[in-house]
Amino acid sequence: MKVILLANHFRAGGISTYLLTLARGLKASGHHPVIVTSGGPLQEDARGFGILHFTLKGLGLRSQLDPRLFLAAVELARFVRAEKIELMHAQTRMAATIAAMAGVMTGVPYITTCHGFFRPHLGRRLIGLWGRKTIAVSGPVEKHLLGDFGLPQSRVVCVPNGIDAGIFLPAAPAERLRLRDRYGFQNETVIGLIARLSDVKGHIYLIEAFSLIQDQFPSLRCVFFGEGPMEAFLRAAVEKKGLANKVFFYPVVNRTAELLGLFDVFVLPSLSEGLGLSLMEAQSAGLPVVASAVGGVLDIVENEVTGYLVPPADSGALAGAITKVLSDPEAALETGRRARNFILSRYSVRQMVEGTLNAYQAVI
């Protein structure tokens, strides 16, 4: 089967990781995926895996009312015809908009993946752009599509993201030492997360929680890997609390698996999560995790079994959970071991590819 996977860009992030993982899995299963984005550094990774990337600049546009979208759809339709593409699989609303127009021009169907939660405003209700089928990445996202947008059950299928446990695996001691030397944390305890610096990820609550427990754990450090619109606000909050020598900001790298060995505890204080891909990667790496009890996180974290859950937007509860983890590291590491086994058994790449192919076949 020849299928294109469309998204806005190909920079480091959850959707780009999904694209690359799915494309590799499809290729290994004998299919012919092509990734179509406006471009980004992960193109080199795709090329290294023998996966074709087609650059469509129109996917980088910001408004669905931009007339240049039509020109992008014409370009995509030309590519679809030339490559004899059988199906388009869009990951974002902009990608779905272009795929829908290209579908009218070519007769080739498209489906979408819903990676999170959206406000059910009138535009989304009237012009859903969900495609012939919509893949939900978790049970809560599936309920969101059915309840808030009124999609019929026949058009929605739940296929959770898969984690390549051969890439996201516990770091060897030598690798941990190398990472700690690189970032200057030889004898410190490191907590934090890898995520875009946006308000929905809840970084501010981790900063506040850190300020509550820093005196109890003098060697504790907090790191944020990511970029985004909240960076200036978060840096100002760190300065105001006098934490500039204990809370650190770094740009994210393309291969996030290389960073996980730096952490002692991975914390995801999100206000909303479709599933929590970065959290799953940390669990696959055997790390203790603390996360907000929201959305798809409830599918992957059982409190004090495969991680620790706290209410969202509750800095005090977050501080308490982190304190519990740091105070009993052996119990925390046991949750990490159980979490890795859970991810291996329930969220493999094979399961994701099989579920996605079933959705493709239903449409084809």
CA dihedral sign of residues 224, 230, 236, 237: negative
Domain formed by 173-346, architecture: 3-Layer(aba) Sandwich (3.40)
- Terminal Cα distance for the chain, rounded: 10
Condensed to tens digits (0 to 9), the pLDDT of residues 301-349 reads 999 999 999 999 999 999 999 999 999 999 999 999 999 999 999 999 9
Answer yes or no: is pLDDT of 127 > 80. Answer: no
Q: pLDDT of 95-113, one tens digit each?
A: 999 999 999 999 999 999 9
Helices 14-28 and 349-363: crossing angle in degrees, nearest 10, is: 80
The mean of the pLDDT values for the chain is 95
Task: Indicate the domain borders of the chain.
Answer: 2-162+348-363, 173-346
**What 3-state class would DSSP assign to 40?**
coil
pLDDT at 239: 98
User: CA-CA distance, 5 to 1, in Å (whole number)?
Assistant: 13
Count of residues in the chain = 364
Distance CA 294, CA 272 (A): 6
Q: Which residue has the tokens 């599918």?
A: 299
Taken in order 83, 89, 95, 97, the sign of the CA dihedral is: positive
pLDDT at residue 13, rounded to an integer: 87
Q: Which two tokens stand for residue 221?
A: 């450090």
Tokens linked to 235: 């840096």
Question: CB neighbours of 26 closer than 8 A, spacing ≥ 6?
Answer: 1, 3, 32, 33, 353, 356, 357
Alpha-carbon distance 337 to 265, whole Å?
13
- pLDDT of 287: 98
Record the pTM.
0.92
* CATH of 2-162+348-363 given 3.30.2350.10, 3.40.50.2000, 3.10.20.30, 3.40.50.460: 3.40.50.2000
Whether residue 125 is predicted with pLDDT greater than 70 in this model: the reply is no
Q: What is the pLDDT of residues 129-188, one digit of tens each?
A: 999 999 999 999 999 999 999 999 999 999 999 999 889 999 999 999 999 999 999 899
Return the biggest CA–CA distance within the chain. Answer: 63
